[in-house]
Amino acid sequence: MLISIESLFLLCLGFFVVATLYSSVGFGGGSSYLALLTLFLVSFFAIRSIALVCNLVVVSGSTFLYFKHGHARLKDFLPFVITSIPMAFLGASFRLKEEVFFIILGSALIISSIFLVWQTAGIKLSEPTKAYPKYLSFLIGAFIGFLSGLVGIGGGIFLAPILNHINWDRSVKIAALASFFILVNSISGLGGLFFAETLELPWIETLILALTVLLGGQLGVRLSLKKLSAKGIKRITAILVFVVGVRVLLVNGFGLF
């Protein structure tokens, strides 16, 4: 084992809470998994790999339920994932230096926290306001897919605020797309890590954490948003992710402390 039993217990507790809260609003929790893992692991290969696996476990159940209940249609999602899948693979296949990875990761976590705050502050309309160029979907998918593969997240935390901002569709459909987007990019990202021979999955930690987020994710996706304050959850998460992102950037990336 790479970490102690006590540390693994704390990670499981944190992962369960993250999976429950994130899955209730259509996310996998990748950014927070990364944030938590950097507190206990030093191998950035293991950090990326475990976060992607846990992302995949959580959103698999969420995506199934969204499609089952008619909130998701594949043809509406294809423009985003057609470009994101190869770009996530490409991003994950990059063999980054450790300090470069942590600089990118820290910056991505900080940006994630800002996007979460932005999403909760936005005004949502009941219907889409106007059509936008179709190529924009391909560009958004490609950019977020590459960033997702690079740092080891599914990208839903970036995608959802953008779609809410342009008023792409109803909130539940955006959550469904975010969940599906995370699913395919996590699979593609893991493929990229395997191709680059940087896939590192300590089996004990990975198995225990995957089971933990499976339970949390199944609980969260079944909770009604009326029983949870989605905005409150995202704002608290934004603060935590921002603090850890700054720490990762300064300590692991720039080595200032």
Q: Residues 117, 235: contact at Cβ < 8 Å?
A: yes
Q: pLDDT tier at 90 (50, 70, 90 boundaries)?
A: very high
8 Å CB contact between 252 and 47:
no
Measure the CA–CA gap between 247 and 254, rounded to whole angstroms.
Answer: 10
What is the number of other CB atoms lying within 10 angstroms of the CB of residue 183?
22
Task: Write out pLDDT tens, residues 208-222.
Answer: 999 999 999 888 877
Q: Are 218 and 63 in contact (CB under 8 A)?
A: no
pLDDT at 64 over 70: yes
Nearest alpha carbon to residue 196 among 50, 48, 36, 35: 48
How far does CA 120 lie from the centroid of its chain? 17
Confidence bin at 228 (pLDDT 50/70/90): low
Asked whether residue 30 carries a pLDDT value surpassing 80, the answer given is: yes
Percent of the chain scoring above 90 in pLDDT: 32
For residue 145, pLDDT beyond 90: yes
Pick the more confident residue, 170 or 144. Answer: 144
Biggest distance spanned by C-alpha atoms of the chain:
53
Q: Write down the pLDDT at residue 12.
A: 96
Assign 170 a pLDDT band (cuts: 50, 70, 90). Answer: confident
Average pLDDT, the chain: 84
Alpha-carbon gap, residue 156 to 26, rounded angstroms: 8
122-139: pLDDT as tens digits: 545 444 455 678 889 999
SS3 content of the chain, % helix, strand, coil (to 5): 75, 0, 25
Measured in Å, how far apart are the chain's first and last C-alpha atoms? 27
Domain extent, residue 220, equals: 5-253
pLDDT, residue 190, reads 94
Q: Tell me the pLDDT tens digit for each residue of 101-117.
A: 888 888 887 887 887 78
Q: Is the pLDDT score of 35 beyond 60?
A: yes
Q: Tell me how many degrees the CA angle 23-225-50 measures, rounded to the nearest 5.
A: 10
pLDDT at residue number 156: 83
Q: What are the φ/ψ torsions at residue 223 (nearest 5 degrees)?
A: -80, 140
Query: Which pLDDT does position 116 carry in this prediction?
Result: 74
- Structural domains in the chain (count): 1
Average pLDDT over residues 221-248: 69
Q: How large is the angle between the packed helices 98-121 and 135-151, nearest 10 degrees?
A: 130
Q: For residue 176, is pLDDT > 50?
A: yes
Full-model pTM:
0.83
